[in-house]
Structure 1
Amino acid sequence: MFFSLSPLIYLILSILFFRFLWEVNYPHPAALLVAGILSFLQRRNRKIVFLKSSFRKNFVSVLPAMEILFFVGMLIASWAYSGVLSTMIQIGILFLQPDYFLPSLAIVSAMAAMVSGSSWTTAGTLGVALMGVAEVISFPQTMAAGAIVSGCYFGDKLSPLSDTTNLASSLTHVPIWKHIRHMLKTTCISFGIAILGFYFLNLYVWDLGQTSNVSLENGFLSSVTSSSVSWFKLIPVVLVFGSSVLKMHIRVSLLLGIVSAILFNSNGFEFSFEIWETLVFGFESNSGNEVFDRFLSGGGIVAILPTEILILAAVWFGAVVEGYGYLNEILIQIKVWAKDKWDILLSTMGTSFLLNMVTADQYLSLVIPARAFRSLAEEKGIPEKDISRSLEDSGTITSPLIPWNSCGAFMSTSLGVSVVSFLPFVFFNLIHVVLAVLLLLVAKNKSKSS
C-alpha cells in the first residue's frame, strides 16, 4: 500500500521542496519531475500501452476544462476593457457592507452559483468583480477568495442545474431532487458554520487593521460611490447568468459574455485591433489609481497558459500513476479493507479525494468510485442516495482544494490567488469534509456498540 501511494507522497514532498527551497509557489515543476522519474524507473515494465491509454483518457476528460479556461481569460479581459468589471466593482462597493463583507461574499456567490448551476461561471464572472471590491477596500485577498470559493461550491452542490450534481445522481440512479434533499442535511449545517466563521474572521480583520476606516477616506472610493452606475454595462452579466439558467452550455454563456462586452464597450459598437489584442494579451488599466489598475490589468489568453501547462503536467502525472498500476493496487486494497456500510461510504469519499489528486479532474473523481463500489454497496444494502451524497461530499467539495486539479487551477487563475494561499479560508469545503467524515465515524461506532 505504501509503494502504491509513493507517487503521491513524492509529489507532496517535491511541492514542499520547491516551495521552501526555491520559493516556487506553483506545482508545475514538482508534477513534471515526479512523473518523469516514475516514467524512467518503470521504462522496462512494458506498460507503455497502458500509460498512453491513461494519458489519452485523462487528457480527453480535462480537455473541456482547458477549453473553458481560454474563454474565461478572454471574458475577464473583455469585461475589464468594456467597463463591465469596474461597474460590478462599483455596485459591490455601494452594497457590500464592510462589517459583513466576508459573509456577504459567501452568500452572494452561493446565490449566483445556485442560479447558474456552475461554480466556474460564478467564480469567473461575479467572483472576479468581488475580488476587485476586496482589492479596492484593502481587504485580504486570500480571505476574500476563500469566501467566494466556499459560496460557489455550496451553491453548485445544491443546484439542479449543476453538472456535478446531475452526474452524481445519474451515476447512482437517484432522482435529482431526492439527491439534493439528502445533501441538505449536512450541507446547510456546514455552510451555516462557515458563515459564522467568516463573520468572526471579518470582525478580527477590521479590529486588527482598521482597513475599512482608512479605505473609506480614500478619494478614489469617494469618486466611485458618488458617480452614477452605468446599468447598461450589466447586460453581459445578465446574458451569462441568463443563458446558464436556460441550461445553455458554459461555452455559449461565456461567449455571449465576451461578444456582448465588446459590443457595449465605452467606445461604442466596434471591433478594432485593440480589442483583439486585449483578448489575447490582456487588458492594461490606466485609471490613475494604483490599486484599481493592478486589479483590472490582466486576463487574456496568454494569462491562462501557465494554468493550461499545470493541467497537462497533472494529466501526465495521473497517467503514470494509473497506467503503471499504482491506482489499481490502491483500489484493490481499499476494497479488501471495506467490510461494512460505513467502510464503503468512507472508501467512496477517500477514493474520490485520491482521484482528484491523481487525475486532476472532478468528473473522474465521481465516475470511478461510483463504478468501483456500486456492487459492494448493493451487497451491503446501502441506499443509493448515501453513495451519491458521499461522492459529492468528497469528489465535488475537495476539487478546488488541490492546486493541480482543474478546479483548483481554475479558481486560482480566475481569482488571482494561489490555492495554497486561500486554502485555509475555504471554510465551507473544509468544514463539510470533516463533518461528513465525523458523521460516518460516529455512525460506525454506534453500529458496533449496538
Structure 2
Amino acid sequence: MRKTKDIFLSLSPVLYLLCFIFLFRQIFTTDPLYGSHQLSLILAGAAAIWQRRKITHAKQAFLLAWKKNFLSVWPAMEILLLVGILIGSWADAGVLFSMIRVGVNALRPELFLPGVCFVSGIASLISGSSWTTAGTLGVALMGVGQILGINESICAGAIVSGCYFGDKLSPLSDTTNLASSLTSVPILEHIFHMAKTTVPSFLIALALFYAANPFAIVGGTTTNPVDLGLLGFSETDNSLNINLIPILLVFGASILRVPPRYSLLLGIFSANIISVSLGHNIGSIVNSLSFGFESNTGNIGLDLLLGGGGVKAVFPTECLILAAVWFGGALEGLGYLQELLHYLRNWIRKKADVLLATMGTSFLLNLTTADQYLSLVIPARAYRNFADHYEIPPKDISRALEDSGTISSPLIPWNSCGAFMATSLKISTLSYLPFVWFNLIHITLAILIALWNRKKENSSP
C-alpha cells in the first residue's frame, strides 16, 4: 500500500497537469496554444513546488533544474523565432506564393495526401531537419491543401508524418546522430537497424493516406484542374526562378551541415533582398518580420493563406516552451522525475523490460521536460548498466531511444516539437495528432515487438 501511495505522489504533478488541461479546455474555447496550456503547466508546476516546499534547499534545486532545462531548450526557441521570421519574409517576398503555385501544379489531387507525406519525407531526409521542412515546405503544402479542399488536420498529419520519417533516417539529423553517439553505434548501422521498423511503418502510413484521400475532401475541387487565375495566381508570373533562391539556400545549407540558425538567416536575408527588389520599403519588410505579412489580394481565403509568420506568430509558442521548462524544472529539481525513474528501474526483470523502460522514460521526458534531446540523453544514461548486464546490442537501445524519444515529440502540445509544428502549420497539435499515422503506427509497432520479445523470454526455460 505504501509503495502505491509513493508512486501516486511521484506522479502527482503529471496528474495535476492533466486535470488543469481538461479544466481549461472546458473554460477556454480558443486554441489551447493561446493561454490554456501555458496556464496549465504553470499551475501544475506551482502545485508540485508547493507540495515539496519543505524539502531542504528546494528553491535552489528547482532553480538549478530550471536553468539546465532552459539552456537545453534555448536552441529550439532560437530556431523557432527564426522560422517565424523566415515565414514572414518569404510571404512578403512572394516565395511562399511561388511554392504554393508549384505545389498546386505538381501534386495530383487524387494522390494528394500520400504525395504530401512522401515529398515531406524526402525533403526531411535530404535536409536532416523536420523543423526546416515543416517551416518551409510544410507551410506551402498546407496552403495547397487548403486550395484543393483537403481537411487541414489530416493534411498536417501527413506533413508531420513525412517530416519525422525523413528526420529519423537522415544521416544529417541531429537526433539521429545524438542517439547513435550516446550508444556508440556507427551512424549507418543505427540507420539501417531503425529502417527495419521505420520503413514498414511509413509504407503502412502511405497506404492509409491513400485510402483516406477521397474522404479528406471538405471543399474546393480534387477532381478538376485548379483555376489558378481565380485564386489570384498568375500563370505568366516570371518571378518563380528568383523565388527559388531562398529555398535552395536553406535546403542547400542544411545539406552542407551549416548550423540551422545560419541556414535560416540565409533564407531570411535572401528573401528580404527580393522584397527590396520588388519595391517594398524597409518599414513594411520589418513589419512583416515582426508582426507577420498581411496579404491584400481582395480574396479573403487567399489573404488568410498567404499571410502570417513573424515574431508575433511564434510568441505564444515561446511562452508555452517556457511554461513547460518551469514544469519540468519542478519535476526534476524536486525529485519527482528521479523517483519515477527509480520505480522503472526496479520493474526491470528481462531484456525486453530494458527496451520498454527506455521507451517509456523517453515518452515521460517528452511529456514533462518539453525537450526531445533530454528524452534521448537521460534514458541512455539511466539504463546503460542494465543494457550491459543483459547483453543487449547497443543498436537495440539506440533504436528504442528514437522509437519513442524522437517519434513522440511532435505529439505533445507543450513539447518544443509539438508546439513548433502547430505554430508553423497553423493548426493545434491535438487537431493533427490522430492523423500522424506514421508516428502512431511506428510507436505501436515498436511496443508490440518489445512485448512479443518479452513474452518469448517468459516462455523460454
Whether the TM-score (by the shorter chain) exceeds 0.5 is yes
User: Aligned-residue CA RMSD in angstroms?
Assistant: 1.7
Query: Residue in 2 aligned with 1:327?
Result: 337
2:23 aligned residue:
17
- Secondary structure at the aligned position of 1:382 is classed as coil
1:138 aligns with 2:144: no
> What's 1:430 paired with?
440
Change (3 A) 1:210 1:254: closer
Q: Which runs of 5+ in 2 are unaligned?
A: 1-6
Distance 1:283 1:180 in 2: 40
Structure 1 residue 345 corresponds to structure 2 residue 355? yes
Pairing 1:11-410 to 2, within 5 Å after superposition: 11-24=17-30, 25-26=32-33, 27-46=37-56, 47-206=58-217, 211-213=221-223, 216=226, 220-221=230-231, 223-224=233-234, 230-265=240-275, 267-268=277-278, 272-410=282-420
Contact 2:109 2:223 in 1 (8 A): no
Q: Taking structure 1 as the reference length, what is the TM-score of the superposition?
A: 0.96
Cα distance in 1 for residues equivalent to 2:457 and 2:236: 63
> 63-72 vs 153-162, which deviates more?
63-72
**Paired residues of 2:175 and 2:406 also in contact (CA < 8 A):** yes
Shift of 1:225: 5.4
TM-score normalised by structure 2 residue count? 0.94
How many equivalent pairs are there?
449
Please say if residues 138 and 215 of structure 1, whose CA atoms lie closer than 8 Å, have aligned partners that are also in contact: no
Contact 1:107 1:151 in 2 (8 A): yes
Looking at structure 1, the residues matched to 458 and 319 of structure 2 have their Cα atoms a distance apart, in angstroms, of: 48
Asked whether the equivalents of residues 281 and 299 of structure 1 are also in contact (C-alpha less than 8 Å), the reply is yes
Tell me which amino acid in the other structure corresponds to 2:399: R
Is 1:6 the counterpart of 2:12 in the alignment? Answer: yes
Distance (Å, rounded) in 1 between the aligned partners of 2:278 and 2:233:
24
Displacement after TM superposition at 1:22 (Å):
2.9
Contact 1:314 1:358 in 2 (8 A): yes
Ranges in structure 1 where 5+ consecutive residues have no aligned partner: none
- Tell me the alpha carbon deviations over residues 91-140 of structure 1, each in whole angstroms, 9 at most, x when there is no partner: 00000111011101100000000000000000011111111111222221
Residue type matched to 1:72 in 2? V
Deviations 1:7-40 (A, max 9, x none): 1121112111111233252311111111122222
Q: Distance in 1 between matches of 2:59 and 2:105?
A: 58
Counterpart Cα distance in 1 of 2:231 and 2:304: 15
Check whether the contact 1:216–1:222 (CA below 8 A) recurs between aligned residues. no
Q: 2 CA distance for matches of 1:252 and 1:271?
A: 25
**CA distance, structure 1, for counterparts of residue 401 and residue 235 of structure 2:** 45
C-alpha deviations, 1:177-225, integer Å up to 9, x for none? 000000010000000000011111112224x767425883685248555
Aligned counterparts of 1:8 and 1:231: Cα–Cα separation in 2: 51
Secondary structure of the 2:230 match is helix
Conserved 8 A contact 1:93-1:133: yes
Rate the CA distance shift 1:223–1:62 in 2: closer, same or farther, 3 A. closer
Match of 2:428 among 386, 405, 418: 418
1-structure distance, mates of 2:76, 2:234: 36
- Once the two structures are overlaid, the 10-residue window that deviates more, 100-109 or 18-27, is 18-27
What SS is found at the alignment partner of 1:264?
helix
Q: Which runs of 4+ in 1 moved over 6 A?
A: none
Identical-residue share of aligned pairs (%): 54
Could you tell me how far apart the structure 1 residues matched to 2:93 and 2:237 are? 17
Partner of 2:3: none
> Deviation string for 1:222-262 (max 9, x for gaps)?
85557566222110000000000000000011000000011
Looking at structure 2, the residues matched to 80 and 51 of structure 1 have their Cα atoms a distance apart, in angstroms, of: 42
* CA–CA distance in structure 2, aligned partners of residues 9 and 317 of structure 1: 12
